[in-house]
Structure 1
Amino acid sequence: MLNNFPVLYPDELFYSAIARYRQANAIDSKLGVERDIYGIERHHKVGKSVYFPQKLETFIERLPFYGNLSVDELIWEHTMFPFYTAFMTDDKTNEIFEAMSYGNRMSIENMVGIPMSKIKTPQFLRYCPCCYEEDLNKLGESYWRRLPQVPGALYCPIHKVLYKDSAIDITKENLDYICADDDVCNEETANDEEVVEYKELDERYVRNVQWLMQNRIRLPPNYISSFYIDRLREAELTSYVGNIKMTEFLEAFQGHYSANYLELMQSAVSIDERNSWTKLFIRNTSKNRSPLRHLLMLQFLKVQLAKLFEMEPVIGKRPKKKSNRVPIYSSEERKQQWLVLLTEHPNANRKELRKINNGLFAWLRIHEREWFDEVTPKGCKRRRD
């Protein structure tokens, strides 16, 4: 029974709460911590992850009966689950939720698609130096928050200072449970001279990230693609049917974002690059696409994030218009043309006649075959010397 597990702070990673529990109880080994949290022994395995912890139902069962913490609250408010599943289907979101609740042989990172993604997660746990100092003054300790760990989030939305890397390398296989303290955090603010020009863009990006993490709406991928096509059509960047005018689209996208900012967001684009992510992003609805790039696309289209999730009617790709073209010549006129041709070339066989007017020959064979065979010679007699 976990009688003294700490109350979680707002936006605190579950990993951070485990680290504070370990420190408060002076537990020496990771195995000892995991035995307390999950009730496991040495020969058992638990999916250890800073972003996506597993077997959370087991943890909840070990809390006192009067505790009011739930698996739902843990996953939605204290892991990276809401950000990375924001643009997935309900079915996929529920599958990942179940894996985190009860455990899964596959890592959740693999289920989400992080290892194969071009968007890499931060190597080190990150923090805001000002938040860190305020925590120490108000709480007597600090903690690891979720928002600084989001790829592309540069500035703290509260203090407007750059996030900093701690000394905790979360890519290590045997990562320990370590608190946010003076041993791993240097509270001095970082110099933002190289990125200050992107501060306004980052503020909008972070506001959208916060909206995603506070809402639980999920949309069908086909709806999202159709929504994008409609907005691009309004900007005259697609045809009437909905085919993207790729060169114009990429030029407009590069005009909205600087090359340096896109590089910083791990989303550089090139008009000449055959497999540029922007060329595949809207067309491919079956592949999981990074939330970061969804937010870049929405900001480019000047669409409020909440607008996408209102589920208004969309058009997307339109069927091609059927041609109502009236034939230049009627059937009788074509027949008359053919009779004139036969009169002008009385000794020509079908092969020779076809060479003279292949279009008329083909049309009559298809549309007036019986009449064509009746009036057209199949061959000509050879003259004898």
Structure 2
Amino acid sequence: MFGSARAGVHHDLPNSLGAFAQRTNALLGEVDSIARERTLLNFYAAFAPPDETANAVACMSGASVAHLKLRLGILTSRFRANHPLKACPQCMEQDLRETGWAYWHLKHQFPGVWMCTAHQQPLLQSALKANGVERFQWLLPRLNDLHSASTKYPEAASCSVLLSLAVLIEHLVQSGAFEPLLLRGLHEVYREEFRARGWVAGAASLRTGQIAAAFLSYCEPLRCIPEFASLAQDEEGMATQLGRLLRHPRSGTHPLRHLLLIHWLFGTAQRFELAMKSKGAYTQSTVPNTVLPRFAAIDPRMDHLHRLIQEEGQSVRKAASLVGVDPQPALIWAAKAGIEISRRPQKLSTNVRARAIRELRKGADKEQVASRAGVANSDGRLVRLWLKRARIRCID
């Protein structure tokens, strides 16, 4: 179905969708529609720039989705990146009556959704696939494989908040398929609501302590769900987490952090959308639904490599090791980005070596000789070798 025995087995962001669309004669859609409408990209695309979504579609159409979760801000979010499969028992019964088998509902798989909005019941989760067990198998929901996400049944207050949050997430994801949110425009919307609640001092200073205390109280009913365990436990930690959300981020932020903030501040998707439209925080156009299966994906490791070299001063070899590529591709990526890389000569010419030996015979400093020759001499081994070959006695 996917062109390889272990392709397409990822239950959240699968690979080899190009082969799947071709082998099914596009009966379930072309690559673009399958990726956007039938996988968890449906959730992340609602909060991502069109070019990021196009890159994700390109990765999923090919043989590898390595580093896609890093690019989408999932791995660095402190929320779980394994996306456990979830199901509603009443939906399963309904599926059996209407179709003959139970199946996974996409809207149940969205991060932050732990209540079935149709039956207003807590979702059960499967430990399979997400924990690596049977990760190469095809699974349908079975009650024997499902268990509660919480150690105890959520209280009424928790169920109420979780249900309201699920309704908001489903609505925003559905509307985001046509008009993605611009996360960078959320800050002004948040600030306007803070000002209305009296949490802005003077012209622009936020009362971070009051905001953190109020948001901490909102998060309390959510803590029965392990997915929300990364939320700060005290006001100081919450103020730090909110500080990152309330300023323009340098890298991707998991949409769930913003969704929690939106639910807390506005309560409903409708009220939030009115605030967004008043600030013009939606994109003006969406990417066309045509992405070729052979579209060349942008490797997310390139940006990481560039930052390591330019901002952290790492060598190409060290940066390549950190991002998981060979040094040669790393050199090519750096060259394409216009990053100048100083290389040591692989082989010294005879003249350069002879000149260096003459200087050493005259008693010149080893470090200076190595520098003029254009070679590294951090441990002195190369110059010592020259001295030995030239039969020059070295006294340190």
In the alignment, which of 189, 196, 201 is matched to residue 234 of structure 1?
196
Native 8 Å contact 1:129 1:188 kept in 2: no
Name the residue aligned to 2:236: 272
3-state DSSP of counterpart to 2:164: helix
CA, structure 1 residues 313+155, in 2 after alignment: closer, same or farther (shift >3 Å)? closer
1:113 aligns with 2:64: no
For 2:180, the equivalent position in structure 1 comes to: 218
Structure 1 Cα separation of the partners of residues 53 and 100 of structure 2: 37
- Given the alignment of the two structures, is residue 162 of structure 1 paired with residue 122 of structure 2, yes or no? yes
Q: Which residue matches 1:51?
A: 12
Q: 2:260 maps to which residue? A: 296
Deviations 1:105-127 (A, max 9, x none): 63422222222221114664221
Match of 2:220 in 1: 259
What is aligned with 1:135? 95
Could you tell me which runs of 5 or more consecutive residues in structure 1 were left unpaired when the two chains were aligned.
1-36, 317-385
Give the letter for the 1:171 counterpart. Answer: N
When the two structures are aligned, how many residues end up with a matched partner?
Answer: 275
CA distance in 2, matches of 1:242, 1:189: 41
Tell me the secondary structure at the aligned position of residue 249 of structure 2: coil
Deviations along 1:281-337, one digit per CA (max 9) or x if unpaired, are 112433322222212111221254355556535499xxxxxxxxxxxxxxxxxxxxx
Q: Please report how far the alpha carbon of residue 276 of structure 1 lies from its aligned counterpart in structure 2 after TM superposition.
A: 2.9
Instruction: Tell me the equivalent position of 2:46.
Output: 86
| C-alpha contact 1:269 1:278 (8 A) present in aligned 2 | no
Aligned 8 A contact 2:158 2:221 in 1: no
Which residue is equivalent to 1:207?
A: 167
Q: Report the 3-state secondary structure (helix = DSSP H, G, I; strand = E; otherwise coil) of the residue aligned with 1:165.
A: strand
Q: Is residue 99 from structure 1 mapped to residue 63 from structure 2 by the alignment?
A: no
| TM-score in terms of structure 1 length | 0.62
1:262–1:277 CA distance, 2 compared to 1 (3 A): farther
* Larger relative helix fraction: 2
On the 8 A contact 2:193/2:265 being kept in 1, the answer is: yes
Question: Unaligned 5+ residue runs, structure 2?
Answer: 282-396
Q: Looking at both structures, which has the greater relative contact order when contacts are Cα pairs under 8 Å and sequence separation is at least 6?
A: 2
Q: Give the distance between the partners of 1:193 and 1:136, measured in 2 at CA.
A: 25
**SS of residue matched to 2:205:** coil
Cα pair distance change 1:189/1:131, threshold 3 Å: farther
Q: Does 1:312 align with 2:277?
A: yes
Q: Which has the larger radius of gyration?
A: 1
CA distance in 1, matches of 2:149, 2:238: 41
Deviation at 1:205? 0.8
Contact 2:87 2:105 in 1 (8 A): yes
Structure 2 match to 1:364: none
- Once superposed, what is the RMSD of the aligned Cα atoms? 3.3
